[in-house]
Amino acid sequence: MNLKKISEFLLNFKKKYIYLVMFVLISTPLILKVTQETYETKEVKSIYQRVEEIYQHNKENPEDKLALFISVDFAPSTKAECDPMMNAMLRHAFLRDIPVLGWAGVPQGIDYGLERFNTIAKEYNKKYGEDYIYLGYAYPFLQAALAFGTDVRIFASTDYYGKDTYDNYPIMEKFNNYNQLGLFTSITGTSLAEGWIQYANGLFNQDVAAGVTAVNASRLYPFLQSGQLVGMMGGLKGAAEYEQMVERLEKKEIKKDIKNYLSGLYKNYEAPEENPRKYDTSYTKTELLKSVNSRKMARQGMAAQKIAHFYVIALIIIANIGYLLKKRYESRR
Amino acid sequence: MGLLAWTTIGVILTIAIFSFLIKDNPLYKFAEHLFVGVSVGYLLVVTFTQLFIPRVYQPTKNAFNSGDVFMSIWMIVGIIIGILFLTRLTEKHNWLSRYPISITVGFYSGFAIMPSLYTRVLRQLGATVSEDGVSMINFQKIGLFFKNPSWANLYEATYGPLIVIGVLTVLIYFFFSFKNTNPVIKYTRKPAMVYMMVGFGAAFGYTFMARISLYVDRMNFIINEWWPLVRVNLF
Amino acid sequence: MKRKYPMILTFIFGMIGLFLKASPILNEKFVDYLLLWTAAISSFAVIYSTFNVVKHHVLKIQRKHRDMMYSYVTFVGILLMGVTGFVGHYLPQSNWKLLYDNLYQFVRTPLDATMFSLLAFYISSAAYRAFRAREWQATMLLIAGFIVMLGRVATGPLMIFADITNWIMLVPTTAVMRAIMIGVGLGITSTSIKIILGIETSYLGGGK
Amino acid sequence: MRKYIILFLVSLLIFSVFAQETNTSDKKITPKAELVLQDRANDGGTGFTLTFKPQNKPEELKTYFLRIYKEVNGEEILIREMKVNNSGQTVRMPMSVQKANTNVIARAYYQKDGEVIEFKEKSLSTKGEWVDSARLSAFIAAILFISMIFIYVKKARSGEELFVRRIPGLGEINDAIGRATEMGKPVFYIPGTSTIRDVATLASLNILRSVGRKAAEYTTPMKVLIQRPLVLGVAQEVVQEAYMSAGRPDLYNEDDVYLAAAGQFAFASAAQGAMVREKPGAVFLLGMFWAESLLLAETANSVGAIQIAGTDATSQIPFFIAACDYTLIGEELYAASAYLSREPKLLGTLKAQDYFKGLLLIITILALFLDIVGVDIIVKYILS
């Protein structure tokens, strides 16, 4: 019986073949843009509902609107998990005409956050300073966390572009205190989310939501159970859930296909000389492609991640079968 | 050079690094040596602009301008000691570099004693005894479990004692100068090993998912950032 | 003479470090002075290590090592990044700075991120090799790792694994990591004291 | 009847005056607020905390103004001005000044028809503490530990035999170098990727001395790959001394101890390349590592080298256990130099460390029992 040969084969796969198979398995779903719908958990749905509540509230009393705050607390190295979360939240807010304010909690996130804010704002024809604003680097953390307790303009006296926030931006007139923020979201790969829970929620009982990398997700579960967190997106899975909810909403709101909608957005639009927009009001082909692709990033990542997971679990099972065969072969000899 | 050219360079370097998985090859050697050069160049720039100028040159200039004699002397001595490190370039005088080494090694060793004792040893031992006021071995919780046994109550009742046993047995496992015949050592070796293996196996499996998403991000760079540029510009 | 004085210096600065951390007023007054010195020493150490890298590759070229031509690539890398970085710092609007930013964004970052992502492959081959039921310890490792891996991706009926994963991470893993941290804290303290008291002098090198 | 009407009118009049009074009374609303300045404990004397709790109802007084000054040789300099919306909540603002023992003044104002009037003032002179009371227990522990080390080193010097249990990973160092010599392959040593500030790096450099000496005896080429500039200088000294004390100063080639690269992943790629091209027989990964630990360990395994790893980075230990032949866990890295060199002084220190840990364990167990009974003096004063 060639038990020996089988066990030898099962136990000694060459590394390069393991890697080659892994490479092929993971890359195909990404190349073919296979998206993996995922079941929606309570903690992500509660964020979505909270943003919808803000939309209802703003519709009922247009005078006393609530805004959404996004704190970009992640560095490009955790982009894979955090980027789709921020895209989905920005899209949800802009789709529902909810004013968005943001800043960066980590230095590496400053420029990256701004580029994301402007790119997504471009998809919804939003004006900087009226519909959304980016306040640059929120440092030191403690002062930033307490700033919204009184008037954030004391702390963030200038925005990212260096202009005074007191008199240049109408959005800052209406939204500078925790009472005017419907939801405060920290998207991070670090433990900054716990800081926001302790200060924003702890001191000023501001509704706080968190979008964290998979590694940090379990650390925040106690805050979910205790109600200190409104909701939480954990890793690519959390991003995929929120992403698919926002895509459903977008299809309902924008009847047309996204690509035509975007290309038609700035068809006959001449920007005034002093262009308030921080982006050029025209869509190049590449930008169109990128915007459309970026709506499915998390779910594509999910498919690849699930396949990789089951591939490695299979590898482990095969190795142990080989080991058992080897043991039986040796015991029989 | 256009965005397409630069992104293509990024993609070529990405594939060069991935090619190492199959076999070491000239493309990987090129990328590796370029990466070494870029990292050393970057360190030079960061050290000069963010360490030497603001933390060495500027204070010295201010000390001289403001006529602060003590500070000027202190900075000059500091710079001379720093230069002593360069004596390593010579064969004969490289023992002079021991002075900057001893100062740095000595200072940082001394600097590490209090924090390591305070944060790593005493505070962690304290956390093993009681967590924010509630003792880890909590008889009310154990009583509660027996009143109405449920999974949640079982967890509440057992997690404190299990952590205490785990910490103590693993700590005892790392005694170095006691023989195995010592009963305390003998009977805690196996439970400590069980804790360690379960703990390490879980930690390994846990970070697995995060590593995969790193790779997903690289493929996104190629498929969603580079490929749209190519398709638009070339076809 | 070559070892005695440095050892005295180590002791003096070791005591300074210890007392600075113990007394906030001393720390407030004097820590900056010391950090100025360590900044100076580190700056010159960087210069020395750059010479070391250059010398290492020059030797490779002199010895006609088979990979010698790649050493030129390293020199180009150092010069390119170094020059554009320095000039770009002082002339932020110049296209030197633009070149530096491009080099950072399209050379350093992709290389960095791709090397990091190799872990996805290495972790799978390491798991394939390590998670085998050899002796009971390895079996323990396998079971725990397997449960957590399943727990992290579980859906529907497999959710039981997610709960077990949470329990394993909250109890055994916490206990082990805490015990090791305590042991390491003691190790750090004893090694630091050994160095300051001159019991451990290997870092001072050879000769009398 | 008329009387009642007049009475009614008069009361109406009074009432209206009074009513009129109430809506004018907000002019006389006395602004009330709690303004507290506290010096921050256990700091160098520069930190303080401002606490401001508005006591008027929000509709009475919407906003307050706070101005904080510091006194620099008699002159008041404004350091912070704040507009506080009265949301009924306490505003707590941690602040600091550059120099210790400065006099700080906080004044609260409220707005009354365009004019800003001060209604409260508090001052404080910040002071520091000579001894950090929170860290006192750690300081006493350090002194106790140092004295125990003196005792046991003296004992070890007086010739008392000190037992050290077998540490699996360390026993194999000599065979690993021996096997590498038989196969005619070099030995690679990586003393961690952290700076000299990390004591794990210093512990690893102590092990490098023993490994270097063994490599010199076996005349096996040894390459030491470094990522940090300062560690480079120290490692070269250590290896030179190891070759010297093994009696083979001629074998020492300074180029064998080199800076492979200056970034975390640049170092991993350079080390990976070097391992695959020079095919070392034994690879030592000892010291502080981050995510690149598995990159180094897995490549060393793919070239068939014997890997001995050791780190105090708790997050990287699982990867070394999975990928390497032998792994020193946490504390074993620090005990290695005593174990390998067998010098009485080092064994004495190891003994002192064990007894100190034993003492701490006893205190912890005692604290546990006392805590159950409800007495938590140990936890409060010693352990936190």
Inspect the interface and report whether the beta carbons of B224 and A215 lie closer than 8 Å: no
At D201, give phi and psi (nearest 5°): -65, -40
Say which of D100, D149, D314 has its CB closest to residue C28. D100
pLDDT digits (tens, 9 = 90+) for A299-312: 888 888 888 888 99
Q: Mean pLDDT score of chain B, rounded to an integer?
A: 89
Inspect the interface and report whether the beta carbons of A150 and D92 lie closer than 8 Å: no
Q: How far apart are CA A129 and CA A99, in angstroms?
A: 10
pLDDT digits (tens, 9 = 90+) for A141-152: 877 887 887 778
Using a CB-CB cut-off of 8 Å, the residues of chain A touching D91 are 146, 149-150
Residue D383: predicted pLDDT: 72
Interface residue of A286, A287, A290 to substitute, partner B, most B CBs within 10 Å: A286
pLDDT digits (tens, 9 = 90+) for B4-50: 899 999 999 999 999 999 999 999 999 999 999 999 999 999 999 88
Inspect the interface and report whether the beta carbons of A22 and C120 lie closer than 8 Å: yes
Chain D's closest residue to B169, CA to CA, is D361
Higher-pLDDT residue of A268 and A127 is: A127
Q: How far apart are CA A67 and CA A176, in angstroms?
A: 10
Residue A148: predicted pLDDT: 83
User: Does residue B200 sit at the D interface (CB-CB below 8 Å)?
Assistant: yes
Residue D85: predicted pLDDT: 67
Q: How far apart are CA D100 and CA D221, in angstroms?
A: 56
Chain B's closest residue to C51, CA to CA, is B89
Using a CB-CB cut-off of 8 Å, the residues of chain A touching C134 are 323
Residue with tokens 């805690």: B188
Secondary structure element (H or E) that encloses residue D224, with its range = strand D222-226
Residue D13: predicted pLDDT: 56
pLDDT digits (tens, 9 = 90+) for B116-157: 998 889 988 888 888 777 778 888 888 888 888 888 888 888
User: Does residue C184 sit at the B interface (CB-CB below 8 Å)?
Assistant: yes
DSSP helix/strand/coil, A133: strand
Residue D99: predicted pLDDT: 80
Chain D closest-CA separation from residue C178 CA (Å): 9
Roughly how many angstroms between the first and final C-alpha of chain C, as a whole number? Answer: 7
Tell me the pLDDT band of D17, cut-offs 50, 70 and 90. Answer: very low
* Closest among D221, D182, D28 to D119, alpha carbons compared: D28
Average pLDDT over residues C168-177: 89
The burial of D108, by beta-carbon neighbours within 10 Å (0-12 exposed, 13-18 middle, 19 or more buried), is given as: buried
Tell me the pLDDT band of D11, cut-offs 50, 70 and 90. Answer: low
Residue D4: predicted pLDDT: 65
The burial of B161, by beta-carbon neighbours within 10 Å (0-12 exposed, 13-18 middle, 19 or more buried), is given as: middle
Q: How far apart are CA D305 and CA D179, in angstroms?
A: 10
Secondary structure element (H or E) that encloses residue B107, with its range = helix B98-115
To 10 degrees, what angle do helices D331-341 and D168-182 make? Answer: 60
Q: Is the pLDDT of residue A217 over 60?
A: yes
Average pLDDT over residues A133-140: 86
Interface residue of C112, C149, C152 to substitute, partner A, most A CBs within 10 Å: C152
Using a CB-CB cut-off of 8 Å, the residues of chain B touching D165 are 175-180
Q: Is the pLDDT of residue D225 over 70?
A: yes
Chain D's closest residue to C193, CA to CA, is D146
pLDDT digits (tens, 9 = 90+) for A26-71: 888 888 888 878 878 888 999 999 999 999 999 998 888 999 999 9
Q: Is the pLDDT of residue D26 over 50?
A: no
Inspect the interface and report whether the beta carbons of D314 and C181 lie closer than 8 Å: yes
Cβ atoms of residues D120 and D42 within 8 Å: no
Starting at the earlier edge strand, list the strands of the sheet with D33-39: D33-39, D47-54, D91-96
Chain B's closest residue to D295, CA to CA, is B21
Q: How far is CA D334 from CA B89, B179, D165, D201, D311, in A?
A: 31, 19, 14, 10, 9
Q: How far apart are CA D176 and CA D169, in angstroms?
A: 10
Inspect the interface and report whether the beta carbons of B215 and A26 lie closer than 8 Å: yes
Q: Mean pLDDT score of chain A, rounded to an integer?
A: 86
Average pLDDT over residues B66-70: 89
ipTM: 0.87
Using a CB-CB cut-off of 8 Å, the residues of chain C touching D266 are 111-112, 115
Average pLDDT over residues A240-250: 92
Q: Give the range among B77-91, B160-174, D91-105 with minimum mean pLDDT.
A: D91-105
Residue C29: predicted pLDDT: 83
Interface residue of C68, C108, C203 to substitute, partner D, most D CBs within 10 Å: C203
Inspect the interface and report whether the beta carbons of D87 and A177 lie closer than 8 Å: yes
Chain B's closest residue to D260, CA to CA, is B36
CATH of domain A42-258+270-285: 3.40.50
Say which of D130, D206, D277 has its CB closest to residue C25. D130
The domain segmentation of chain A, as residue ranges, is 3-31+304-332, 42-258+270-285
User: Does residue A32 sit at the C interface (CB-CB below 8 Å)?
Assistant: no
Using a CB-CB cut-off of 8 Å, the residues of chain B touching C192 are 109-110, 112-113, 116
How far from the centroid of its chain's Cα atoms is residue A113's Cα? 11
Q: Is the pLDDT of residue D72 over 90?
A: no
pLDDT digits (tens, 9 = 90+) for C86-132: 998 888 888 888 999 899 989 999 999 999 999 999 999 999 998 88
Cβ atoms of residues C199 and C191 within 8 Å: no
Q: How many CB atoms lie within 10 A of CB C137?
A: 16
Chain D's closest residue to C67, CA to CA, is D277
